[in-house]
A and B are shown apart, each in its own frame.
Chain A
Amino acid sequence: MKPNRIAITGVGETPFLRKGDQTVMQMLTRASLAAIADAGLTPADIDGYIANKYVGHGSDEIAHAIGGGEKRFCAAVDSAGGTATCGQAIELAQLAIEAGLARHVLVSYAIWSNKPGGVYAVHAREPQKAGIEMPAGFFGQPTYFASMANRYAHEFGMTEEEQASVPMTYRAWAEITPSAQRRDPMDLEAYRKSPMISTPLRVADCCLTTDGGCAYIVSAVEEARDMPHPVIAVQGVGLGYNNYPQGVLFTQKPSTFEFPGRESAARAYAMAGCDPKDLDLAQIYDGFTISALVQTEMLGLCERGEGPRFYAAGHARPGGRMPVNTSGGHMSGGYVPGINLMIEGVRQLRGREGARQVPNARLCAVAGLGGNSHSTTILARS
C-alpha cells in the first residue's frame, strides 16, 4: 500500500457513559451522522461501509439507519478490538478507495458494555475456556492480563509505583479533556485505594466500562483537500497477526504478553518512511496497564522492558517528550475499542484541542490491540 493516498476526513462520537440508555444501533447512527457532518458531507455521499463482526450490525443496517446513498462497497472486519478499528478498517478503506469502489467510506463502532451477560460473555462461549479455565477460576480479561503482568514483572521488573504511573499518566490527560469519562485526579494514594481485582491489577489498571459509539470517514487525499478540515493522511498502516485462537491465547502462547505489535509497527513505519523518533505523540490501546506498557515498547517509544520506567519518568504525561493517550485513553477517556483513540489522533493533528493540545503535532501513531492481532497506523497532517 502507498502512503498518503487516503485521509480521515470526518470524526464523530456519542457521549461516553458508564451506563447509557441507547441501543448499539442508535449509538452507531448518532456517531456516524456526527462524523458525516464533521466531514462536511451528507449521508447520501457515503458509498462505502466497513462494519465490524463484533458489533453485530451489518452495513445494510447501518446504511439504512443513516439514510445513506447508493452503497457501492461494503466489508466487515473480523479482527478483535483495536486491530479492527485502528488498522484493518483503514487497510480495507484504502483498498476500496484506490480501486475506485468508493469515495467516502464510513467506519463505525459502538459498544454496550452493560449488556446482559457483561463484557466477558464472549470468553464464556469459548469451549476450552468454559471447559478447563473457568472451573479453575481463571476467567475474565483482568485475570488474563494480570497473569501477563506478573510474568512481565518476573522477566523485566516492575514496581508498584511504575505500574501506577501508567493509569496516572492517562488520568492526567483526562483531567484536561472535557469529554473524558473519568476526570477526577489520581495520585499514587488514590491509585492504591482502587480495588484490587486480580493481582497486580486494580480497577484503575483496567479500561473503563463504557456505553458509547464512534465513527470516522475515510476519503481520498485529493477529495480531502476540498473538505472542511486540514488533511490528516494515513502515512502508514501495518497489521500483525499470530495464529493462536482466542481460546488458547491467554495461556498457551509461548510468551503470553508478546502481541504481534512489533510486526505491525515495522510495517507501518516502513510504509510511512519514518521511525519512532519522528512521532509527536501516540495513542495506544490501553485495555490494561500491562498491555499499554508492552505496546509502548513495541511502537519503539522506549526499549524493550523499559515501559515501566518510561511512564514513571513522566515522558508520556502532559508536557512530556512523547505524549500518549492524550484524551485519557481507554482507562480514563472511555472505552470504544480503539476507535476513540483514532479520533483523538485525528483531532490532535487538526490542532484545536485546547488545554490538551500537543504543540505542533504533525505525526501520530495509533496502536490497536486485538489479542492475537495488532495494528499500527501513522497519521500525518499534510
Chain B
Amino acid sequence: MGIPVYPVHLEDPLLQGFYDGLAAGELRITADAETGEWIWYPPEVVPGKPDAVLEWRAVSPEGRAYTYTTIVRSLLPGDHKAEVPFTCVLFEPDDAPGVRVPGILIEDEGVAPACGMRLRFKPVEAGDHWIAGFVPID
C-alpha cells in the first residue's frame, strides 16, 4: 500500500495544532477550553459560542474505523499515481465519541479493511510532514 503525499495547506493557522500533535506522536483534537466538549473539526466559530476558546487535547490512540475506502485513483490535484493504492479510514477515538479523524491504514498486510475494526494510531511520515496512520489491532 502507498502513502499519499500532499502538502499541508493551512489557510487557518488553528489547524497547526493537529500537525504539532502528529509530530509529537499524539493524536490531538480540539475541545472547548471551558467545557471540555470536543469541537471537531475546529470551526471558525464554535456554534452558538463566538467567544469560545479552543485548545488541543490528546485523545486515545485506540479506537474504531467508522468507515474506510481504498483509493485506487487519487483525485488530489497533481500526479499521485505512484502513491496508490492506499486505504483512508475515518477513525473514532475511544474517548471522543462522535469525533472522526481521517488517516490511512498502515501495517495492514493480510487484513481486510472493515467498518468497526479496532485500530491504534501511529504517525506516518509523508514527505515533509506527518499524517495520521492507523494499525489494525485485535
Contacts and interface: CB of A to CB of B under 8 A. Distances in A.
A134 B11 CA distance: 13
Contact of A135 (B72, B90, B114, B129): B129
B102 A151 contact: no
Interface stretch (A122-130, A225-233, A302-310): A122-130
Given A127-B12, A198-B70, A199-B69, A140 B75 contact: yes
A196 interface: yes
Nearest to A117: B77
A135 B7 contact: yes
Contacts of A243: 47
B64 to A, nearest CB: 11
Interface size class of chain A, counting residues whose CB lies under 8 Å from the partner chain: 35 or more
Contacts of B47: 243
B102 A132 contact: yes
A73 B68 CA distance: 47
Nearest to B12: A127
Contact of B40 (A117, A137, A252): A252
A197 B4 contact: no
A147 B11 contact: no
Interface size class of chain B, counting residues whose CB lies under 8 Å from the partner chain: 35 or more
B102 A138 contact: yes
A200 B87 CA distance: 12
B75 A135 contact: no
Contacts of B9: 130-131, 134
A133 interface: yes
Nearest to A126: B11
Contacts of A130: 9-11
Contacts of A200: 69
A176 to B, nearest CB: 31
A74 to B, nearest CB: 30
Contacts of B41: 128, 132, 247-248, 251-252
A131 B67 contact: no
Interface in A182-199: 195-199
A197 B8 contact: no
B81 interface: no
B63 interface: no
B30 to A, nearest CB: 11
Interface of B: 4, 6-12, 15, 18, 40-44, 47, 66-77, 80, 83, 86, 88, 90, 98-100, 102-104, 114-116, 126, 129, 131-132
Given A136-B104, A137-B88, A143-B71, 5 more contacts: A128-B12, A138-B102, A150-B67, A252-B98, A252-B100
Interface of A: 117-118, 120, 124, 127-128, 130-140, 142-143, 146-151, 154, 195-201, 243, 245, 247-248, 251-252, 254, 256
19 contacts: A127-B44, A128-B15, A136-B88, A136-B104, A137-B74, A138-B90, A138-B102, A139-B6, A147-B67, A147-B90, A150-B67, A151-B66, A151-B115, A154-B114, A198-B70, A199-B72, A245-B43, A248-B41, A251-B90
